[in-house]
Amino acid sequence: MPQLHETRYGRKLFERDIPDLIKSIDFLGKQLEEQNKMQGKYLEFLNKQTSVLEKQLNVSQQQLEAMKKPIEHRIINEER
């Protein structure tokens, strides 16, 4: 009985199918690396945006508190 590599299907497996499979796996690996890089850049962008929004929120909160003080002062003076 012939060995697997000696048969027509065995030669096809070793000469074409396995090399094609390896190429496909390599391609998928490269695509995953690229996707990871892109996701990393996107996360950096989101972190920067979050930082900017947090600063804007802080400023808005400070402005709101500053607007409340004259109103509170007026209410206290009117009650007297």
27-56 b/e (C-beta count within 10 Å ≥ 16 → b) = eeeeeeeeeeeeeeeeeeeeeeeeeeeeee
Distance, CA of 54 to CA of 32 (rounded, Å) = 32
Structural domain for 35, as ranges: 4-79
**What is the count of structural domains for the chain?**
1
pTM above threshold 0.85? no
Does position 74 have pLDDT exceeding 70, yes or no? no
pLDDT in tens, 5-30: 889 999 999 999 999 999 999 999 99
